Structure 1
Amino acid sequence: MHHHDEWLVGVTDRGVQDFFCRGARRQSTEGRVILIEPGEMHDGQAVTAAGFAYRMLYVPQSVMRAGLGDPAGGAGGFRQTISDDRQLAVAIRNASDLVGESGERLGAEAAIDAVVDRLRTHLGLRERPVEAAGGPEIARRARERLHDELASEIGTDALARAAGAGDRFQLARAFRAAYGASPHAYLVRIRLAEARRLLARGEPPAAVATACGFADQSHLGRWFRRAFAMTPGAYRAACTDVPDTGTARR
């Protein structure tokens, strides 16, 4: 038996995850979500020889307080230890994929914030009210900062401060209201637009990745294929007739 100082939010990917919590043994199977608040004693074990696989986010209390708009820390506890909330499971997996990945700081922080926001119903909290004052101006300043620092690895907290938002959660709501997307989605969009421009000019994909703020050529390739269903090299060749060899034809 042990406990953690953070909020535990996880999803079982495979097998049966057996654990004791809140006075009873519980079992989580594929796709089910595990929710454990700070200080809650629990253990964990497999019940079959095949074992189990899971993803667990350890969300700091400071992030939860900021995201829930609960500076006093009175969020209480989760209504249930195991949930079948599929949207939350998807959000956890998305955050797990992005956390720690080079070039995805803004996306990772946004993904964690999406998890926190989804947890409101599991804590019995109402939706956070939308702040109307200054919203359009906050969004505009954030948009300008993204364009000015397109290749930089800017975080959501720094972006919120630059835009004059109270915190990154206010920034996210203001930005979505103004532009219909999160700051991260918008940043990816303008990075890809710049990448297309440079590739059409004949620049090598590796150089384009660096110039547009992607971690490396592979990172650019994943986003480019997702958006345009083709590789950066293929797009460059289609625009310039330059084969994807890394050097431009003289």
Structure 2
Amino acid sequence: MAAAHEGFRAWHPAVTGVTEVLHAHFVDHAYPMHAHASWTLLLVDDGAVRYDLDRHAHLVDSAVTLLPPHVPHNGRSATSEGFRKRVVYLDAAQLPAELIGRAVDQPVLFDAPLRRRIHLIHGALVRPGEEFEAESRLALVAERLSEHLRRRVGEGVALPDPPLARALRELLAERFRSGLTLAEAAALLHAHPAHLVRTFSREYGMSPHQYLTSLRVDHARRLLLSGMPPAEVATAAGFYDQPHLTRHFTRILGTAPGRFARSGRLEA
């Protein structure tokens, strides 16, 4: 059954540093564990969201949430009424990679002025011709986010990220389009297949095949917003065919690829 949603819109603006913008209202949809190659800057406008990040549970309503790239997380409504959210996906280079551990440690930011600045970015992003304003406001927001993360006590909590799990994650990121078998991965990393799966799953909270699928969906959404037809996106992102793409895309994002692509051409 498709998730109930209203006013779903996703698009890729011509703004340096922004890979995607998403405005959505979900009632029934629950995001499974997945990951992005970008920073996820989230505002919840109505309701509240529960999510797990690095095996720690979080609840957010009016605060700002910053989820780091490559770290699996999920998401679901904390109430039966659902939630309305606005997300700006930031290019990974917008914030230093060494701050990822601190964002994992504390992804929720209680900063009303920062929330207001992010709200103004969204206002600029929905108005064609205001790309320079959006870029200017984003520069200040990125600086503020960096200041928040650097002010954390000590060095933050770094991801354990054992070498074997990290090596498999990097291999999957490198081969997500062409794919690989578990036997190939085990041979390349000199590990028993079962040990490889256990180590990765224990470290990242999702199996290697789930992580691989989430990478493909994340890439597919970028291709869809660039105007590529879903049938071509499926093979370009590493899926077997369009139904294969549709099944996993809908499961993770709560909407079909075609609707996702068309939503960017709708009025906000």
| TM-score class normalised by the smaller sequence | 0.3 to 0.5
Structure with more of its chain in strand, by fraction:
2
TM score, norm. by length of structure 1? 0.44
User: Greater Rg, structure 1 or structure 2?
Assistant: 1
